[in-house]
Chain A
Amino acid sequence: MAKILIPSALRAFTNGQSEAYINGATIGQVLGNFAEQFPQVRRHLYDDQGRLRNFVNVFLGDDDVRSLKKEATPVKDGDVISIVPAVAGGTPELSKEEISRYSRHLILPEVGMDGQKKLKAASVLIIGTGGLGSPLAMYLAAAGVGRLGLVDFDVVDASNLQRQVIHNTRAVGRPKLASAKEYILSINPNVQVDTYETRFTSENAFEIAAGYDIVIDGTDNFPTRYLVNDVCVLLGKPNVYGSIFRFDGQASVFWAKKGYARRGPCYRCLYPEPPPPGLVPSCAEGGVLGVLPGIIGCIQANEAIKIILGKGDLLIGRLLLFDALGMKFRELKLRRDPKCPVCGEQPTIHELIDYEQFCGVTVVEEDGKRVNSFDITAKQLAGKLAGEPIFLLDVREPEEYQICFIPGATLIPLKQLPERLTEIDGTREIVAYCRTGKRSAQAVELLRQAGYTSAKNLAGGIHAWADEVDPSMSKY
C-alpha cells in the first residue's frame, strides 16, 4: 500500500479526499488503480493515448519519477506518492508569423506591440453570424483578437448571401456556425473560435457572456437587444450596438459600468420600452441594402478594437446615424437616464427577465417549433384549406404576389388593409400570410381590433408553406 497525496485540484473527483492508500508494485500500477477507484481523475492525469499529461508531475518521496524509472519505478509499502501540478504560464507574445501578419498595426504608434498583445489577449462575444456578425467576425479575426465567441443556431439560407459575406454559396444548408468558423480560421488561424449552437436566452446569457471582455449583438431583434443590454449592464461589460433597416443604420457603445469613469447610457436609457410587436418591420420583411450591415458592422468592429486598445473617442453617449441613400452620417447625443430601470440610480431590474414577453412576442411550443398563440402552421393551414371555408388573405405587395402565392388567396397589401376591411369575408375563418409572417402578424392584430377575433397568422409565411407544403414554390 502506498499513500497518494491528492492535490486540491483533483479533490472534486475524489469525494474531497486529500489522500488515498492504493495497492500496486510500480508507480504505473498505483496510479492505474487510483484512476480505477476515481474514474473522473483519469482524464486529468492521462491524455487520449494513455500517457501521463505533461503538466502532471509524479514524485516518489522527494524524487521526480521521471528521474527514476518513470512509471516502472518500484513502490514499497508505506511510500508516499505526490501528484504535483506543473505550475507555469506567462504573458502572450507574438510569433514571427504574427509579427509579419500584424506589421501594419505594429508600426502604428496607437497600436504597436503593446496594443497587438492586448488584441491577442482580448475576447469578444458576437451574437448572430448574419449581416452584422459577418464583417464583425471577419475584421476582428483579421485584426488579431485572440478569442471570438459566436452564438447562432440557424442554417445558411440562399437569401442570406446578399449581405452575410462570411457564408458562401456552397454553405447554403450548412449550420451558420460551422461555415463562419471555417472562414474565420481561413482568415487567421491564430484566433480561438468558441461556438455556441443555441438561442441566446435569459437562461444561458450570463454563463456565455461572463467569459468575454466585450459583447456585440448582431441579431437585430428586440428581445435579444434588451437581453444583451441587461446582461451587459449587470455584468459591467461594454455592449457595442448596431442596427440596420433598408438604407439606414445606427451604431453606439452602451457601457453603463458602475463606478467607471467613462460610464455612459445603456440601451434602456434610450428606449425604456420596446415598440409594439410588428410596428417595426425586420430586414426580412422590409428589406435591407446588402452593403449596409457591412458598413455598420465595420463601425462596430472599429469601436470594439478601440475599447481593447484603450484609444480614441468611443461612441459612448453618442448615437451615430447613417443614411446610405443620402450618404450622410449624423450624430445624436445620448444621456444617461437616472431613472433607467436597469442602470439608473434606483434600478428595478436586478436579474434577467422574459424578453419575449417583455417585447410582446407571445410564444408557445408546437411540434418542437416556437409559434405565436395566434399562429397557424403551414401544415395546419393545408389541412384546413382541404375541408373548411377559409378566407386566405395575402398582405404582401403586388410585386411579391407576382413571384408566388398560395392558391385561393385574396391580395390586400398591409398598408391598404385599414381602408379595405369591407372586402374581408367575416363569415369564413380568416388566415393572413406574408413572406415570413411579420407583416401578417400586424394584419391579424388589426383584424382582431376590427372585430375579426378569430383571425390567424400563417407562422413563417409563404416560406414555411414552401418548406412544409409545396416544395415547388419559389422562395425569395
Chain B
Amino acid sequence: MPIIFEKPHLTEIQRHGEATYPHECCGFLLGRVETDRRIVQQIRAASNQRNDSPQNRYEISPKDYLHVDREARESGLDIIGFYHSHPDHPARPSAFDLENAWPGLVYVIVAVTHGKAGEITAWLLSDDRSRFLPEEFATATDFKNFQF
C-alpha cells in the first residue's frame, strides 16, 4: 500500500542527508497506518549513534526511540518507519539494512552523491524476511493525481 507524505518531508530528508554528508543521517517517520495507505504526518531527525563508522552505518539509540515513541503516542501518532541516507551510494537497501529490519515499518533511503541528495526510495520487509520490497510513495501535492 502506498505511502503518502503530507508535507514536503522528502525535501527535508534530502536536506538532512546533505547536512550530515559524508556521514549517514537517520530519523523517524511519524504518522498513521490506514487500511489502504500509510500516511507520514511528521518526520523527526535523530542523531546517528555510530561514531565508529558514521559514513556507512547508522543506529538510532533505543532511548531516542522510546522518547520519540512517547511523544508520538501522546499526540496520537505512531512511529511508522525510519529514513536514512546512503552517502555516495545508490538508494538500495544493504544487507545490514535487511538484518535489522522490522516487518510493517517503512524504510526510506536517500542517496547523497558528492554532498548532493538525489534519488529517494521506500521499502518494506517481505513476510519471510528474505528481502525488501519497493513501496510506492507520493507527497501530498501529487496526492490528487495518485491512483488507488
Q: Which residues of chain A have a CB within 8 Å of any CB of chain B?
A: 5, 7-12, 18, 44, 55, 57, 59, 62, 64, 82, 84-93, 114, 117-118, 121-123, 146-147, 192, 194, 210-211, 213
CA distance A11 to B103 in the complex (A): 10
Q: Given A211-B132, A211-B133, do A87 and B60 touch, yes or no (CB 8 Å)?
A: yes
**B50–chain A nearest beta-carbon distance, Å:** 8
Q: A88 is contacted by which of B86, B96, B104 (Cβ under 8 Å)? A: B96
CA distance A192 to B99 in the complex (A): 13
* Beta-carbon contact of B96 and A210 below 8 Å: no
Chain A neighbourhood of B102, CB < 8 A: 7, 9, 44, 55, 85
* Bitwise interface map of B from 88 to 105 toward A, beta carbon under 8 Å scored 1, else 0: 111011111101111111
Chain B residue at minimum C-beta to C-beta distance from A310: B90
**A272–chain B nearest beta-carbon distance, Å:** 26
Q: Which of B57, B96, B102 counts the most chain A CB atoms within 10 A?
A: B102
Chain B residue at minimum C-beta to C-beta distance from A82: B66
Chain B residue at minimum C-beta to C-beta distance from A59: B66
**CB of B134 within 8 A of chain A?**
yes
Interchain Cβ contacts under 8 Å between A and B, 17 examples: A18-B73, A55-B100, A59-B66, A84-B62, A84-B69, A87-B46, A87-B60, A88-B50, A89-B93, A90-B50, A90-B96, A91-B87, A122-B92, A147-B131, A211-B132, A211-B133, A211-B134
A-B contact count (CB 8 A): 122
* Beta-carbon contact of A87 and B82 below 8 Å: yes
Q: Which residues of chain B have a CB within 8 Å of any CB of chain A?
A: 24, 26, 33, 46, 50, 53, 55-60, 62-63, 65-66, 69, 73, 78-80, 82, 84, 86-90, 92-97, 99-105, 107, 126, 130-134
* Beta-carbon contact of B92 and A87 below 8 Å: no
* Beta-carbon contact of A8 and B56 below 8 Å: no
CA distance A447 to B79 in the complex (A): 68
* Beta-carbon contact of B62 and A59 below 8 Å: yes
Chain B residue at minimum C-beta to C-beta distance from A19: B73
CA distance A405 to B54 in the complex (A): 71
* Beta-carbon contact of A7 and B69 below 8 Å: yes
**Chain B: interface secondary structure?**
mixed
CA distance A93 to B56 in the complex (A): 8
Chain A neighbourhood of B62, CB < 8 A: 57, 59, 64, 84, 86
Q: Given A62-B66, A84-B66, A194-B130, do A89 and B58 touch, yes or no (CB 8 Å)?
A: yes
Chain A neighbourhood of B89, CB < 8 A: 91-92, 114, 117-118, 121
Chain B neighbourhood of A7, CB < 8 A: 69, 79, 102
Chain A residue at minimum C-beta to C-beta distance from B101: A89
CA distance A344 to B97 in the complex (A): 38
Q: Which of B82, B103, B130 counts the most chain A CB atoms within 10 A?
A: B103
Chain A residue at minimum C-beta to C-beta distance from B27: A87
* Beta-carbon contact of A87 and B59 below 8 Å: yes
CA distance A84 to B60 in the complex (A): 11
